[in-house]
Amino acid sequence: MARQMPSTSNPFRYGALALDDAFTDRESEISELEADALNGQDVVLFAPRRYGKSSLVWRVSQNLIARRVLVAHVNLMTTPTITRLAEKLAGTIHEDIASPLFRAKERLRVLQGLRVRPTVTVDPDDGSLSFSFDAGLRVEDIRATLERLLELPGQLAAERKRRVVLILDEFQEVTELDASLPRLMRSVFQQQPEVAHVYLGSRRHVMERIFNDENEPFWRSAKQMELDVIERKPFARYIAHQFVHTGKKIVAPAIEAVLDLTHGHPYATQELCYFLWQDTQAGATATPEQVTAALARVLNAEHAHFSLVWENASAHQRLLLRALAEGPGRPLAADYRRRHALPGASSMQRALGSLEEAELIGRRRGEAWINEPFLAQWLLRNEL
pLDDT of residue 18: 52
Q: What is the mean pLDDT of residues 159-163?
A: 92
Task: Tell me which H or E stretch contains 268.
Answer: helix 266-278
Give yes or no: residues 245 and 377 share one domain.
no
Q: How far apart are the first and last CA of the chain?
A: 48
Q: Is the pLDDT of residue 384 over 80?
A: no
CB 49 within 8 A of CB 359: yes
Domain count, the chain: 3
Picking from 204, 165, 161, 242, the residue whose alpha carbon sits closest to that of residue 359 is 204
Mean pLDDT of 167-171: 95
Q: How does the average pLDDT of the chain come out, rounded?
A: 91
Q: Is residue 178 part of a domain?
A: yes
Whether 19 is covered by a domain: the verdict is no
Q: Looking at the structure, tell me whether residues 191 and 283 fall in a common domain.
A: no
Domain harbouring 56, CATH code = 3.40.50.300
- Comparing CA positions, the residue from 107, 129, 112 lying closest to residue 120 is 129
pLDDT given for residue 4 in this prediction: 41
Q: Which of 272, 301, 330 is the last residue of a domain?
A: 301
Judge whether residue 323 has pLDDT over 70: yes
Note whether 222 and 42 are within 8 A (CB): yes
309 with 340, same domain?
A: yes
Nearest 5°: phi and psi at 277? -60, -40
Question: Which residue among 256, 272, 301 closes a domain?
Answer: 301
What is the pLDDT, as a whole number, of residue 5? 42
Which is more confident, 108 or 241? 241
How high is the pLDDT of residue 27?
A: 86
Give me the pLDDT at residue 16, please: 56
Decide which of 283, 301, 319 is a domain's last residue: 301
The reply to whether 219 and 346 lie within a common domain is no
pTM above 0.85, yes or no: no
Could you tell me if residue 2 is inside a domain? no
Range(s) of the domain holding residue 137: 26-226
> What 8-state DSSP symbol labels residue 119?
E
- pLDDT score, position 155: 94
31 shares its domain with 154? yes
For the residues 49-63, what does the mean pLDDT come to? 87
- Phi/psi region, residue 329 (left: phi>0; alpha: psi -120 to 50; beta: rest), is beta
Write the CATH number for 269: 1.10.8
Of 45-49, 315-319, 326-330, give the lowest mean pLDDT range: 45-49
Q: Is 9 contained in some domain?
A: no
What is the reported pLDDT for 28? 87
Q: What is the pLDDT of residues 183-211, one digit of tens each?
A: 999 999 999 999 999 999 878 888 999 99
Per-residue pLDDT tens over the stretch 326-370: 999 999 999 999 999 999 999 999 999 999 988 899 888 889 999
Q: What is the pLDDT of residues 264-308, one digit of tens each?
A: 999 999 999 999 999 999 999 999 999 999 999 999 999 999 999
In a domain, 1, yes or no: no
Among the listed residues 213, 130, 217, 152, the one whose alpha carbon sits nearest the alpha carbon of residue 178 = 217
Q: What is the pLDDT of residue 17?
A: 56
Q: Are residues 320 and 293 in the same domain?
A: no
Task: Yes or no: say if 22 and 13 are a contact pair by the CB < 8 Å rule.
Answer: yes
Looking at the predicted structure, is the pLDDT value of residue 2 above 50? no
| pLDDT score at 57 | 92
Share of the chain above pLDDT 70, in %: 95
Alpha helices by DSSP H, listed for 82-136, are 82-92, 99-101, 104-107
Q: Is position 138 within any domain?
A: yes
Instruction: Report which secondary-structure segment, H or E, holds 285.
Output: strand 285-286
Per-residue pLDDT at 198: 97
Q: Is 253 among the domain residues?
A: yes
Q: Do 178 and 238 reside in the same domain of the chain?
A: no
**Range 326-329, long-range pairs (CB < 8 A, 24+ positions):** 326/376, 326/380, 327/369, 328/367, 328/368, 328/369, 329/367, 329/368, 329/369
